[in-house]
Amino acid sequence: MIRLENVSKYYHNEGVVSLGLRKVSLEFQIGEFVAITGESGSGKSTLLNVISGIDTYEEGEIYINGEETSHYDEEDWEHYRKNRVAFIFQNYNLIYSYTVLKNVEVALLSQGHDLKTRRAKAKEILERVGLGRHLRHRASKLSGGEKQRLAIARALANNSDIIVADEPTGNLDSASAKQVFALLNEVAKDKLVLVVTHNYELAKDYATRVVRLFEGEVVEDREIKPFIPKEPREQIPLKMSEWKKSAAVALYNVFGQPRKSILLFLVSLTTVFFVFLLYGLLLSIGGGFGGGYYFESYNVYPERVLVIRKDKAPLTDEDYEKLKKIPNVKRVVKEDAVLDISFYLFDSRLNFLLHFAGYPGFLDDYDEKNLIGRFPEADGEILLCTYVYEDDLGRLEDYLDKEYQFSLQKNSTDGRYISDDREYKLVGIYAWSEERSMAVLNEGEIRDLYNYFRPGYQTFVVTIEREWDTTEYHMISDFFPDSDLEGYQISSEIFQYYSEGTTFKWQDLVLEPVPWDGGKQSHQAYVSWELYDKIIPFEHRQYTLELSREGDAKEVLDRLYREGYYSFCPHQHLRNYNISAGEIILKMIITLGIGFSLMVIYLLSYLIFRAIFNSKVQDYTILRIIGFKNANIKQIILFEILTFFFFSYLAFLLIYHFNKKSFEMMAAYGLRDFLFVGLINLLLALLITRRFILYHRSRSLFAALRIGG
């Protein structure tokens, strides 16, 4: 099976050359149990290392099943070790954080066995070495003899032809040592077992052959017992992908080492949190800038989106149904002009709400304890939402169920200014924390207000035709419906200056001016409802959409555009277009700061990850001994770090979901932003992994073993 021919090995250390092996020629077969003895420093370990490909040799040749090995590179040796060699050490080299069962299972995994087979075979082997009662115990809890038997079990799991054991009983008492030798003897029936030992007495009782070294040379090679030679077994590699193996080991590590994992999870959770925070900051800069101009003229809040059809035609019921079905659209407000009516309340009785100037709106998520009274049910009832201290709420009870005079005003997009005074019965007050205040009305009242305040899309121009004279035009910009007028009656200051016989027309309709009762300016007029309906047809040219979340506005806006609408988000408009040069510079500085902070977070989390992963390096070395390749180790580290980041990302989303109020910095997040932050975190995880792997690069197994063991 293995043949060494004049193999020599020298160590070069800072100019000093020392001898490891000199012209060693040996041949071993499967079925042999070889005890290698000799004084300390005689080259026993070197011989094992050279045979198992852990160390190189300078002269001579080693044949494995007749094949020369002098041309082998590290990958060939890896392959050879993985398939042919299992190791047993004086210091056991177990993964102590794993259970007994896992230590064996992971060796079976390196061979590519599936979960079920791993479990069954591991149990069977552990029974065989007498550890059947310790399956679920941590490896660290075993006695020395038990640890070495576990190491043998693991070597058996490797299903190799050769077991090399370097002083396996060096740390054991004589009873345990005997057990270990007995076990190795049994194992040797269908393997080649090479054992380095000082204990000649034990070796003599169990081994089939003794090889003694002295100063790197074979000085004795004696068969002491007959053995039955066997052929190397057929290699039938199992078909499990290397990625899958690595992923499985990563899961073993993540869930098998709870203390380290919790620590790593907390570190990655903190990292994920800061990335979310910083990106949120990036999204929101600009939000605090800009003037308040739009706040005065529009009811501007983040969830409001204005929609018109691309063809500018009135919106239909079909549009209404279509818009309602768009994800993240909570409500479609047909009477959207109502949302731009300001309500002013000047009433000395209501001291607290004296300066109330709010817009009508909808109160969906409300807290019962901040409400006194009730929601409006009948027409003419009103609930006010405004900034009131919770403690003051009780004292306001007295003001409920009384009528108050409100002054309603609206600047229309068509340039009109309309106002009206109305009495409302105050049925409820809600104390909320928003900066704006708001009036809540019932649906009938909202429709009624829309009827009155509806926006017009054409200009009201009166044509004045006088006998013997030219035609004049007069524009009336503010006009109001008046129930006392009918037909084409109109009341305004301008009409009184014209002599009899003058005709006033709007389009083809002849107007009937009624005597003016004073008070109105020349650009104002009262008209009958009939005329009002003609000048401003009752149709909806614009709807308001209320979103469930502000952050997803981008997606909704894109979708609306695709479906044939123009839309406009007044709040974002404010955010994006009212920024001065100074603010742009500030924005750049903040952006740079955020980028810098991100780098700091990356470095910090890398250092912590490295510190914790350094304590796992020993385990990775052991995995290589068991038969995992260097490439596997890289994948395992990658999977472990990715797992922590993935779970941290999920955990953070969960925390956020149940605590939205505490994460104000994320108000502007849309679906895309969540995905983008996920990507940033993925990138961080990859960078950390790469850096860590580079940090530990180019350590041969030999070097790793010497440092680790």
Q: Would you say 419 or 700 has its CB closer to ligand ADP?
A: 700
Tell whether residue 709 is a contact of ligand ADP (CB under 6 A): no
Smallest separation, CB 41 to ligand ADP (Å): 4
Within 32-51, which residues bind Mg ion (CB under 5 A)? 45
Taking CB within 5 to 8 Å according to partner kind, which of Mg ion, ligand ADP, none is near residue 158?
none
Residues in the chain: 709
> In angstroms, rounded to a whole number, what is the distance separating the alpha carbons of residues 588 and 594?
10
Tell whether residue 643 is a contact of ligand ADP (CB under 6 A): no
Tell whether residue 199 is a contact of Mg ion (CB under 5 A): no
List, as own/partner pairs, every contact residues 89-93 make where C-beta atoms lie below 8 angstroms and the sequence separation is at least 24, other chains included.
Answer: 89/151, 89/165, 89/166, 89/168, 89/709, 90/166, 90/167, 90/168, 90/170, 90/171, 91/171, 91/709, 92/147, 92/148, 92/150, 92/151, 93/151, 93/621, 93/622, 93/625, 93/708, 93/709
Place of tokens 């020298």: 10
Smallest separation, CB 2 to ligand ADP (Å): 18
Whether 283 and 646 have beta carbons less than 8 Å apart is answered as no
Q: Would you say 20 or 670 has its CB closer to ligand ADP?
A: 20
Q: Would you say 43 or 627 has its CB closer to Mg ion?
A: 43
Number of residues that bind ligand ADP (CB under 6 A): 12
Q: Would you say 197 or 681 has its CB closer to ligand ADP?
A: 197
Torsion, Cα 283 288 293 299, to 10 degrees, reads: 60
Contacts with ligand ADP, 25-44, as mask; x by CB under 6 A: -------------x-xxxxx
> In angstroms, rounded to a whole number, what is the distance separating the alpha carbons of residues 282 and 676?
13
Binding ligand ADP (rule: CB under 6 A), the pick from 6, 18, 65, 471 is: 18
Identity of residue 92: Y
Number of residues that bind Mg ion (CB under 5 A): 1
Smallest separation, CB 210 to ligand ADP (Å): 15
Smallest separation, CB 181 to Mg ion (Å): 18
Q: Would you say 24 or 622 has its CB closer to ligand ADP?
A: 24
Taking CB within 5 to 8 Å according to partner kind, which of Mg ion, ligand ADP, none is near residue 591?
none
**Maximum distance among all Cα pairs of the chain, rounded to whole angstroms:** 144
Smallest separation, CB 150 to Mg ion (Å): 22
Whether 566 and 310 have beta carbons less than 8 Å apart is answered as yes
Smallest separation, CB 216 to ligand ADP (Å): 7
Q: Would you say 167 or 619 has its CB closer to Mg ion?
A: 167
Whether 19 and 216 have beta carbons less than 8 Å apart is answered as yes
Tell whether residue 13 is a contact of ligand ADP (CB under 6 A): yes
In the 8-state DSSP scheme, what is residue 365? S
Tell whether residue 46 is a contact of ligand ADP (CB under 6 A): yes
Q: Would you say 12 or 239 has its CB closer to ligand ADP?
A: 12
Whether 264 and 644 have beta carbons less than 8 Å apart is answered as yes
Q: Would you say 40 or 470 has its CB closer to ligand ADP?
A: 40
Smallest separation, CB 11 to ligand ADP (Å): 3
Sign of CA dihedral 443, 448, 452, 456: positive
Please choose, from the candidates 226, 191, 212, the residue with its C-alpha nearest in 3D space to the C-alpha of residue 1: 191
The DSSP line for 434-481 is -SS-EEE--HHHHHHHHHHH---SS--EEEEE-TTS-EEEEE--EEEE
Taking CB within 5 to 8 Å according to partner kind, which of Mg ion, ligand ADP, none is near residue 698?
none
Tell me phi and psi for residue 519, to 5 degrees: 95, -35
Tell whether residue 45 is a contact of ligand ADP (CB under 6 A): yes
Structure tokens at 325: 């079905």
Q: Would you say 164 or 193 has its CB closer to Mg ion?
A: 164
Identity of residue 701: L
Smallest separation, CB 169 to ligand ADP (Å): 15
Smallest separation, CB 245 to ligand ADP (Å): 31
Sign of CA dihedral 266, 267, 270, 271: negative
Smallest separation, CB 13 to ligand ADP (Å): 5
Taking CB within 5 to 8 Å according to partner kind, which of Mg ion, ligand ADP, none is near residue 174?
none
Binding ligand ADP (rule: CB under 6 A), the pick from 1, 2, 7, 20 is: 20
Q: Would you say 16 or 175 has its CB closer to ligand ADP?
A: 16
Q: Which residue is nearest to Mg ion (CB)?
A: 45
Please state, as a whole number, how many other Cβ atoms lie within 10 Å of the Cβ of residue 25: 13
Give the binding site for ligand ADP (CB under 6 A).
Answer: 11, 13, 18, 20, 38, 40-46
Give the binding site for Mg ion (CB under 5 A).
Answer: 45
